[in-house]
Amino acid sequence: MELTTATNTVTDTPPEQPDPRDWFVAPAVFLGAAVLYNALLAFLNAHVMYVSEKTVMVVEGIIVLGGCAYMATKLKFLRNCQPIFLFQITMLIIFCGVTILSEYLNIKAFRDIFLITVFTLLGTLTNQKSIIRLYTIIAAITLAVLFLEAFATETYAMIFNPASYYAATRGLENPDFNDTGIFLNAMSFEGRFSLGIINVSHRISSIFIEQVSLGAFAIVLTMFTSLFWAQLGHKARALMIVTIFMIVATNNSRTALTLCLMFAAGHFIFPKLPRYMHMIYVPAILISLALAYNTSGCAGGLPILSSDDLKGRLNLAFCTLSYMEPSYIFGAGSEKARTFWDSGYVYLIYGQTIFGFLVLWFFTSLLVKPDKPQTIRLNHYLNLIIFLNILTSMSFFSIKVSAPVWFMVGYFYQAQISSRIRNENLS
């Protein structure tokens, strides 16, 4: 009788089914294309064909819409993604309202948000093994090209010719005195911040072709390394640490250095904090800015004395925030957003309204529940990489940086949902 009961018990417990996501390759392909396509276009522009700004837009559109088309074939795997769809619908309604109020179609504002939705959803269609493999490959490619650029600069410039690429795609003409082929904005100058660890002739850009995105990618890799530390092998850990160090040492980005160090310390500190402590960052950042600066240093919404250092960039953020037009905050000045690219809060509020900003903040802070150390760290990292970073730049909204961040968020969201469903089935 006991044997029969035991047998029935075993028989009644269904075996764990394999996850179909284990076989999905396309999400990783779309993310890899989002990170690497700039390098491919630069190579084509240097050796095969003329590449224009429209070419870049078309390629990015193919990647994003291709991802959408792929997800349309996998809708049954997205049925638990209602919060992500609700976020996009809400932001689309706000976008339509802003377009009507401002009488201006700000495609860039729509695109910034749509990237978040697409790559978060793509991230829900991947698994742990795939995401670790993909980020390891991208890190290895980044490091290899970084070494090439740092120690064989002429060869790197011959392969990619960044100066020509950005002249063709951004209208940033290369001056006669720059015959290196390197993007002019990456060139070092006297007084520029530098760690002084590795002597390089310019700020390294690697596969990102421009220096700002490479610096931001160091932050992304630090985030990834912390979140997957327990799952990474020794070689993968070593690769991540070396890649992050080499980027920070050769890219000379103040923001990258600051956030990488904060994430490294936060790996140990954040899980010990209250679970929703990450929601304090936005008010804390804005209050700190208000306490550190005052409007006597501003004139017409700009600093009286400006400088390209951390103090000067923060002063710019304060002055532009302090002099925001009330009607623009509610959507009447969307066409003005792009002029505030170096002051991200104003850029975001003018493009999305104060309501859109709040929706993004709550979506960022509440999508993944901070129920264990990994997800607690994720929420801190995500809020810092967005809301601290945009004080001085909107580089986070580049597809090369935004896509790998939100892809990770999507993975953790789906892992959390799957875990909850498994627990419910067992109970």
Q: Are 370 and 270 in contact (CB under 8 A)?
A: no
Q: Does position 277 have pLDDT exceeding 90, yes or no?
A: yes
Q: What is the pLDDT of residue 340?
A: 87
User: Measuring CA to CA, which residue among 337, 377, 384 is closest to residue 356?
Assistant: 337
Q: What is the pLDDT of residue 174?
A: 66
User: Measuring CA to CA, which residue among 238, 253, 251, 38 is closest to residue 150?
Assistant: 251
Q: Does position 280 have pLDDT exceeding 90, yes or no?
A: yes
Q: Does position 264 have pLDDT exceeding 50, yes or no?
A: yes
What are the phi and psi torsion angles at 319 (to 5°)? -65, -45
pLDDT band per the 50, 70, 90 thresholds, residue 206: very high
Q: What is the pLDDT of residue 19?
A: 77
pLDDT band per the 50, 70, 90 thresholds, residue 8: very low
Mean pLDDT within 37-47: 96
Q: Which two tokens stand for residue 149?
A: 């650029």
pLDDT band per the 50, 70, 90 thresholds, residue 181: confident
Q: Does position 253 have pLDDT exceeding 50, yes or no?
A: yes
Q: Are 229 and 267 in contact (CB under 8 A)?
A: yes
pTM given for the model: 0.92
Give me the sign of the Cα torsion angle 371, 239, 32, 133. Answer: negative
Q: What is the pLDDT of residue 20?
A: 78
Mean pLDDT within 331-355: 91
Mean pLDDT within 155-171: 91
Name the least confident of 72-76, 117-121, 175-179.
175-179
Neighbouring C-beta atoms of residue 277, cutoff 10 Å: 15
What DSSP string describes 179-210? -S-S-GGGB--TT-----SS--SB---GGGSS
Domain ranges of the chain: 23-426
Q: What is the pLDDT of residue 193?
A: 52
Q: What is the pLDDT of residue 312?
A: 85
pLDDT band per the 50, 70, 90 thresholds, residue 17: low
Name the least confident of 27-41, 81-95, 233-247, 387-401.
387-401
User: Measuring CA to CA, which residue among 152, 149, 231 is closest to residue 183?
Assistant: 149
Return the higher-pLDDT residue of 345 and 313: 345
Name the least confident of 11-20, 107-116, 243-252, 340-349.
11-20
Q: What is the pLDDT of residue 399?
A: 96
Q: What is the pLDDT of residue 16?
A: 57
Q: What is the pLDDT of residue 192?
A: 54
Q: What is the pLDDT of residue 2?
A: 43
Q: Does position 416 have pLDDT exceeding 70, yes or no?
A: yes
Q: Are 413 and 124 in contact (CB under 8 A)?
A: yes
Q: What is the pLDDT of residue 394?
A: 81
Name the percent of the chain lying above pLDDT 90: 73
Mean pLDDT within 161-172: 87
User: Measuring CA to CA, which residue among 195, 125, 20, 46 is closest to residue 415?
Assistant: 125
Q: What is the pLDDT of residue 1?
A: 41
Angle, helix 153-160 to helix 26-47, in steps of 10 degrees: 100
Average pLDDT, the chain: 90
